[in-house]
Structure 1
Amino acid sequence: MENKSKRVLIACDSSATLLGFRGKLIAELVKSNEVHVFTPKICCDATADQLKAMQVIVHENALNGSNVAVFSDLKYIYQLFQLIRTIKPDIFFPYTFKPVIYGTVIAKLCKVNRITPMLTGLGYNFAPQAAKRSFISHITGHLLKWSLLYSERQHIIFQNQDDYHTLLKGGIISKRHKAFIVNGSGVDLSNYKYSIPNTRYISFLMISRLINAKGVKEFYEAAKLVQQKFPEIKFKLLGPYDNNIDAIDQELYALIRSGEVLEYLGQVDDVRPHIKAASILVLPSYYGEGVPRCMLEGMAMGRAIITCDSVGCRETINPSAKQPNGFLIPVKNITALASKMEHYIHHTKDILIYGVNGRKFAKEKFDVNLVNAAMLKIMQLN
């Protein structure tokens, strides 16, 4: 490989996010840097081929990012330690919890010059409902505090103001820490192109992993209420049912798969045809998002949205009353969700107007090129 100016190591907990969430950033990094990624096994040949074509050097592991797995985590820590000692990166960029918690500590021990951990949302461990998991939440908080201990070489990246203030209030970080806030992961407006939504045959689409805190049950119950009045309206759910501590129960999963209320689409490689076919995007999440990517994709394609007044989600609603792009509803409020769905059914022009406004808002705030420029500045690579 030709001599590049800096050696960058990226660590993640899912290979699926490398190109979908970080593809444009990686493309910018490889222009003048040697880029390595430390990722769970890449099962998609197209992803592996594209990373190879970009001259990204891939190092695979067996990390389980969703659940506690002591022996697997210890093996991951050892492998990452050995990798950092071997390649000696100038910049270490971990994102999501386990790579941030384990990787940031290891990078400090190995004296990496620039460490830029990115918190892509705090998840349910820092949400009010996390009382049910108080032990796990307590441990996670201590591990994060230990990992993010102040260092002159460390620049912490957040995707929203709420997460920064949560960690500040919780004593996990202090005002002394070097912290930066970017507008989510951004969205590639050239890849997610505007299309006119169908207002004659209205359909609502939710894109999410099937976990409780994403609001899957709320979407199902609200759809059931609306269908009692408007049986012709379609409701679709797209996303995987995976092995997660907060996965929906088997009873709800069976109801979803029955197709009586929702059309379940499962997991797909490309969400764009499904967004194009939808009239409105819905995400009643109280998970503790960074900024939900599916909402940005929907906005970019000109779709009106409904989401919760919760961390990360509220970032996707334009605060300007002159350019509304959707509705915020209270967390876990099925009645409010159904009411906003009915608003679009009764006011089909708003589907069009809010969709155009959403595209404009995405361009102004969430354009991936703007976000990546901010990221490169934080990494001191521009």
Structure 2
Amino acid sequence: MKNIERILIVCDSSKSLLDFRGKLIEALTINNEVWVFTPEIKQHNVRYMLNALGVHIQENTLESSNVSVFSDIRYIIQLYKLIIKLRPTVCFSYAFKPVIYSSLVATFCNVSNIVPMLTGLGYNFSQNNSKKRLVSIITKYLLKLSLSSKNTKIVLQNKDDYKTLVNENIISNRQKVFVVNGSGVDLSHYNFSKPTLKTCNFLMISRLINAKGVREFYEAAKIVKEKYDNVSFTLIGAYDNNIDAIDKMLFNEIKAGNVIQYLGEVDDVRPYIRASAVVVLPSYYGEGVPRCLLEAMAMGRAVITTDSVGCRETVNLEKEQQTGFLIPVKNAFELADKMLHFLSTPGDIISFGQNGYKYVADKFDVYKVNKHMVSIIENNGNSREYPFTPVLLN
């Protein structure tokens, strides 16, 4: 009989526990004792569902978007005390701060199975201005240090990130690395529907940071609105104190509502995807596999995104199977051109959307992805390793 694992999940957002990891946590609770170390849970439904699954909750004071030495030290101490108390057999973490800090503390405390998952490399491995360069250098150093333990099994969401980490000497090609197909998407939750073509809506779902391409979306919308009347643009996402947040002037222009409708952060994106014709993400952030695009494709929406890390994983360009368009990064004109294509060729909105649903069902179904994740987390992943190469789970 399989031994019960005590699994500690470390995250940077309580909302993400259900939105991105809900089905994975559900699968892990079947045979294991599961704890979560999370920033304060403010959503009643999140606390209720975790309690219903029998998950043990330990809250902390992490400020994931801010650079604060004192806050981070307090967080590390809280995490250390928890690991000493629980003695987990598995420490699974995702997002940069939890990955770095929990992996370091878990290594120090001799946790036998450390599973950090990097859901993209963000702006830390892209071209940085002076404002971000120091943060990037420190992050890279700490990441290399945190991933060096022999007890660590690294999970990535695309092959480009693996190549980058090896080339940057963050990891070696001898380490245990697994590449999975994103976080997966629940096809029973994001139901397929045909888009309406009477008034074409382009939707972007993203935090309001520069590297997500918010300005490019805004500028492309201005170009398209000059040529078409029966078109609208919607932006959903939080504007917070992030090091890469868009400037106040652009934010005020967006809020004015003359070009795009800004709705802020919403609890459920499905009604807005359903009301859209095409979902757009002109990101150059360094994504894992963008969840918003998978959700859109699961609901039968064509997509436009950039030919950049993580984003390109979502678009199938094969003839008769095309799911959307890839455009160069930081190029509002190319984005506008592809929007204009959909407006002049509305049949592609329907066919690309149908192809997108099939693509997601085949490659990104959450149950397929989680089957791989559980095998890694539950100490069964070693059997899937090959020397000197990452394990590509398809």
Whole-Å Cα distance in 1 between the matches of residues 130 and 278 of structure 2?
A: 33
Do the aligned partners of 2:107 and 2:149 also contact (CA within 8 Å) in 1?
no
Aligned residue in 1 for 2:390: none
* DSSP 3-state at the match of 2:358: helix
Q: Distance in 2 between matches of 1:300 and 1:52?
A: 28
Q: State the Cα distance separating 1:320 from its structure 2 match.
A: 2.4
1:4 positional shift: 7.7
Give the total of aligned pairs: 379
**Whole-angstrom distance in 2 between the partners of 1:352 and 1:321:** 15
- 1:230-249 → structure 2 map (5 Å cutoff): 230-249=228-247
CA drift of 1:16 comes to 1.1
Distance 2:285 2:303 in 1: 17
Residues 306 and 328 of structure 2 are in contact (CA less than 8 Å); yes or no, is this contact kept in structure 1?
Answer: yes
Task: List aligned pairs for 1:8-87, cutoff 5 A.
Answer: 8-87=7-86
Whole-angstrom CA distance in 1 between matches of 2:173 and 2:157: 17
Among 205, 210, 213, the residue aligned to 2:211: 213
Distance 2:284 2:58 in 1: 34
Preserved CA contact (<8 Å) 1:4 1:34 = no
Residues 18-52 of structure 1, C-alpha deviations (whole Å, 9 max, x = no match):
00000000000111110000000001111111111
- Map 1:246-325 onto structure 2 (within 5 A): 246-325=244-323
Indicate the residue corresponding to 1:182 in structure 2. Answer: 180
In 1, distance between residues paired with 2:274 and 2:309? Answer: 26
- The whole-number CA distance in structure 2 between the counterparts of 1:309 and 1:176 is 29
Superposed CA deviations along residues 231-290 of structure 1, whole A, max 9, x for unmatched, are 221000011111101111111111111110001111110000000000000000001111
Residue 133 of structure 2 corresponds to 134
Per the TM alignment, residue 113 of structure 1 is displaced from its structure 2 partner at its CA by 1.2
Question: Which residue of 2 is the match for residue 222 of structure 1?
Answer: 220
Cα deviation for residue 381 of structure 1 reads 5.3
- What secondary structure does 1:93 align onto? strand
2:80 is paired with a residue whose SS is: helix
> Aligned pair 1:365/2:372, yes or no?
no
Change over 3 Å in CA distance of 1:130–1:140 after alignment to 2: farther
| Deviating more after overlay: 164-173 vs 131-140 | 131-140
Counterpart Cα distance in 2 of 1:376 and 1:222: 42
User: C-alpha deviations, 1:67-90, integer Å up to 9, x for none?
Assistant: 211111001101101101101111
Contact 1:325 1:357 in 2 (8 A): yes
User: Deviation at 1:149?
Assistant: 1.1
- 1:150 touches 1:176 (CA, 8 Å); kept in 2? no
Q: Secondary structure, in 3 states, of the residue corresponding to 2:369?
A: helix
Choose 124-133 or 199-208, whichever is displaced more.
124-133
The alpha-carbon deviation at position 131 of structure 1 amounts to 6.1
Contact residue 113 and residue 379 of structure 2 kept, 8 A: no
The 1-side partners of 2:13 and 2:125 are apart by 21
Alpha-carbon separation, structure 2, partners of 1:205 and 1:108? 43
Deviation at 1:318, TM superposition (A): 1.2
User: Does the 8 A contact of 2:99 with 2:118 survive in 1?
Assistant: yes
SS at match of 2:263: strand
User: What residue number does 2:169 align with?
Assistant: 171
State the TM-score, normalized to the length of structure 1: 0.97
Aligned-partner Cα distance in 2 for 1:307–1:131: 27
Equivalent residue letter for 1:143: L
More deviation, 319-328/308-317: 319-328
Q: What displacement does 1:352 show?
A: 0.3
Cα distance, 1:129 vs structure 2: 4.0
Counterpart position of 2:121: 122
CA 1:267 to 1:14, structure 2 compared with 1: closer, same or farther past 3 Å? same
CA RMSD of aligned residues (A): 1.3
Unaligned runs of 5+ in 1: none
Match of 2:341 among 340, 343, 346: 343
Match of 2:332 in 1: 334
Unaligned runs of 5+ in 2: 381-394
Amino acid at match of 2:270: R
| Residue aligning to 1:154 | 152
Tell me, in whole angstroms, the C-alpha distance in 2 between the residues paired with 1:357 and 1:131: 42
- Structure 2 length-normalised TM: 0.94
